[in-house]
Amino acid sequence: MTAEITPAAVVLLTLLAALLLHDYTSNERNRRHLWVQAFVFFVGGALIVYPEIARRLARFVGIGRGVDFVLYPLVIWLVRESLSSRRRRHEDEERMTELVRALAMERARRLGPDPEGTLPGSSPPAR
């Protein structure tokens, strides 16, 4: 098995290295996650340089092409991440609404009634 260093392989490997460097410099807190990411990038890099590995694995599991062997799980993972992100965003929006509501209630309690009618939606007292 020989390495296939094509211009596309060089670009993809450079992209993997740049992404890993970016995450290393910007993610100081979660080093374990970075090690997992580095391992996944290493495996991805090996599949880029040695595509015959993916071809053999694909044939072994009954998939026609090596790229399909990589793409099928990737698409499933991306759909999962999309749904998970959407759910988290919805939960964050609900929490933000509750927080703003609680802050408004606290401010209203602290300020008391609005005798001059200066707050929006309030009217001055009848005379």
pLDDT above 70: percentage of residues in the chain: 88
Position of tokens 């072994």?
Answer: 60
Q: What is the mean pLDDT of residues 72-84?
A: 89
**Residue ranges of domains in the chain:** 1-49, 66-110
In this model, does residue 81 exceed pLDDT 60? Answer: yes
Cβ neighbourhood burial of 87 (10 Å; 0-12, 13-18, 19+) = exposed
- Mean pLDDT over all residues of the chain? 85
Instruction: Give the predicted TM-score (pTM) of the model.
Output: 0.58
